Amino acid sequence: MNKSTVVKVKNISKVYKLYDKPSDRVKEVFNPFKKKYHKDFHALDNVSLELKRGEAVGVIGRNGNGKSTLLKIIAGVLSPTQGHVNVKGKISAILELTSSLKPELTGLENIELNLKINGFKQHELKEKIKEIEEFAEIGEFINQPVKTYSSGMKSRLGFGIATSSEPDILILDEVLAVGDFNFQQKCLAKINAMRDNISMIFVSHSMNSVRLFCNNVMVLEKGKKVFYGKADDAIKYYLEQEEKKKLELKKKENKQEIKPFYGDAFHNIDKITDVKHKWNKEYYELEEEMVLEFSFELKYKPKNLIIGLPIWDETGNNITSFNSDYSSVKLFNRNYDISGKIRFKCPFNPNSYHSVFVVVDGSEFLYRNLNDKFYVKNKERVFGYVTLPHKWEIE
């Protein structure tokens, strides 16, 4: 390990033995023929990583793919089944914000205990205690047992204690996933203030936070390192892989299945025939033009012909609905063969969507059936169901 390297993880593997039932563990121990009753689960499989002084490395991947296991091995909480870890410097690992707190002790007693464990001298405690109290903002509760604290108070106190130890290496596991917005902003500010003096390993599902803090990023999948590179490249790779997995799952679904939130299919063949309706594409990007083409033949003269197009997301939320009556479109003009298109810029945030093509005459349904599903591809920094057309003007 060279002078600039503070953490070197070499060919780490972590294997757990999984038994179908507790008694199988005993059977395996005492079986005279060494019969195997367990299955090996590789939480980590031959993973290597190097962290240099002043660098921040991110680790991303789905839950259950080995991120937390890797951090616990680096922090010394777990031992690897195979491989080696070399660490140069003092580590502070925030794996669970409240894990270092003793519920029977007061907040103040917890602060003093942890500071002493981390090697602070008596004359250093006063200033550090004040710093942690100011960060935690729990007021008079500082003198009450931690078991009486709310989850938010525990999180603030735990983070304040963990970041007060002036480590050389800071390990963060989903710290920004807990607490309210204000607490998360305080954590971000605290981490930013420490960045110049520490090396950091950072696990988060927030791609924005990973991009903000990390120089390089590792992508873990099923315990294996599948990508390592610059933050933007790693995030792009990860999101692309996630998109591919989603699309593969969607293709396996039965497209003919009509779920309850769509409503019933209906077709009055005595009044409307040869109905066709189709999106021009299957996959869209935000702000890309979407086109639904339609055509049908009427067998009678309608009184007030209207086309509707309700749209739902995958979980059954009705996102919006288009209808020709709202736009004052006259569909029937002595022509019984009707065809046309509806166009709009895609406002939908990344997801898969269902839509129904509906033809009604006044309050009488003539036709109602599903269109093929469409999908909107992943895009960073979008929130909610839709992104509305807008312009920024900066003076």
Number of structural domains (the chain) is: 2
Rounded average pLDDT over 309-327? 91
pLDDT value, residue 98? 62
Give the closest residue to 308 by CA, choosing from 295, 325, 291.
325
In a domain, 352, yes or no: yes
For residue range 216-245, list pLDDT tens digits in order: 999 999 999 999 999 999 999 998 888 888
CA 264 – CA 365 distance, rounded (Å): 11
In a domain, 130, yes or no: yes
**What is the arrangement of strands in the sheet containing 224-230, beginning at the earlier edge strand?**
91-94, 169-173, 199-203, 56-60, 216-221, 224-230
pLDDT value, residue 10? 94
CA 169 – CA 317 distance, rounded (Å): 45
Instruction: Provide the domain limits for residue 335.
Output: 260-376
Structure tokens at 129: 């205690």
pLDDT value, residue 253? 61
pLDDT value, residue 178? 59
In a domain, 389, yes or no: no
If asked whether residues 91 and 219 sit together in one domain, one would say yes
If asked whether residues 341 and 369 sit together in one domain, one would say yes
If asked whether residues 190 and 137 sit together in one domain, one would say yes
pLDDT value, residue 257? 52
User: At residue 36, does pLDDT exceed 70?
Assistant: yes
Split at pLDDT 50, 70, 90, the class of 176 is low
Residue where a domain terminates, one of 208, 229, 249 = 249
For residue range 63-95, list pLDDT tens digits in order: 889 998 999 999 888 899 999 999 998 887 777
Mean pLDDT of the chain: 86
If asked whether residues 193 and 306 sit together in one domain, one would say no
If asked whether residues 236 and 289 sit together in one domain, one would say no
CATH of the domain at 200: 3.40.50.300
Burial per residue of 313-331, b for 16 or more beta-carbon CB atoms within 10 angstroms, e otherwise: beeeeebeeeebeeeeeeb
In a domain, 390, yes or no: no
Residue where a domain terminates, one of 225, 249, 273 = 249
If asked whether residues 244 and 265 sit together in one domain, one would say no
If asked whether residues 160 and 291 sit together in one domain, one would say no
User: At residue 33, does pLDDT exceed 90?
Assistant: no
If asked whether residues 126 and 100 sit together in one domain, one would say yes
Q: 133: Cβ–Cβ under 8 A, 6 or more apart, which residues?
A: 111, 142, 160
Split at pLDDT 50, 70, 90, the class of 4 is confident
Split at pLDDT 50, 70, 90, the class of 281 is very high
If asked whether residues 230 and 124 sit together in one domain, one would say yes
In a domain, 243, yes or no: yes
Split at pLDDT 50, 70, 90, the class of 3 is low
CATH of the domain at 369: 2.70.50.60
pTM (two decimals): 0.59
In a domain, 387, yes or no: no
If asked whether residues 307 and 335 sit together in one domain, one would say yes
If asked whether residues 197 and 99 sit together in one domain, one would say yes
CA 48 – CA 9 distance, rounded (Å): 5
User: At residue 339, does pLDDT exceed 90?
Assistant: yes
Bridging pattern class, strands 364-370 and 224-230: unpaired
Rounded average pLDDT over 279-293? 95
In a domain, 180, yes or no: yes
Considering the chain, what percentage of its residues have pLDDT values greater than 90? 40
For residue range 341-389, list pLDDT tens digits in order: 999 999 999 999 999 999 999 889 999 999 999 999 887 777 888 988 8
If asked whether residues 129 and 239 sit together in one domain, one would say yes
In a domain, 38, yes or no: yes
